[in-house]
Structure 1
Amino acid sequence: MSDRWQYLLVLAACLAITAPLELFGSGVYRHPRRLARAVLPVAVVFLIWDMVAVAGKVWTFDASYISGLRIPFGVPIEEVVFFLVIPVCGLLTYNAVSTILDWRNHR
């Protein structure tokens, strides 16, 4: 397999590993509006930051590890997905840990 899919594969693994955490508490995916309000504003800010940095050649991405698909200003699609996937994984983890701690404290 080509290395160019590694970034996307790592992101897919993050989602797969944290997906079962949806079963704890009120869930994250079960509240899409709340999820969007939590993730999208921050994702947009960091995406703009990346666009400026890549366009200004402040940083680049190793072409060996990305698919080659890019959005305007040269930002790889994997970076866009990163700004969505990692916060969702964080919210899933936070929700699960909070729920487990609540269960423990109410015993």
Structure 2
Amino acid sequence: MWLRLSYVAVLVLCLIGALWLEPLLKVNVLRRWRRLVLSLLPTLILFGLWDIAAIAAGHWSYDPRQLTGIVLPGRLPIEELLFFVIVPTCAILGFEAVRAVRPHWLAGDE
């Protein structure tokens, strides 16, 4: 049972590691959801299609023992689609948190 949730568990841990930045540092990444969606869409589409093509060609596969079993068209596991949303969101949260704490440092003003 737990092994089937291992990919989901990693994604949840990523979220736990990054979501606290939103309210604590007021980075407003989630509040500006349209901007976030527009930032995520190219990654989601490009890498989603890339994975589907790699699966179809037999170059890429997933261990079904570590997945929930929810599969999207193209045999893409739902966890992989979530990966393309969650990991970039966490990266954006981290970047915006650094920017909120050190705005001059990122601009090159030391």
TM-score, with structure 2 as normaliser: 0.88
Match of 2:22 in 1: 22
Per-residue deviation at 1:2? 2.4
| 1:19-98 map, 5 Å | 19-23=19-23, 24-98=25-99
Using the alignment, how far apart are the partners of 2:103 and 2:73 within structure 1?
Answer: 44
Task: Give the % identical residues.
Answer: 34
Match of 1:2 in 2: 2
Contact 1:25 1:95 in 2 (8 A): no
Using the alignment, how far apart are the partners of 2:72 and 2:41 within structure 1?
Answer: 17
TM-score, with structure 1 as normaliser: 0.90
Per-residue deviation at 1:94? 0.2
Per-residue deviation at 1:25? 4.3
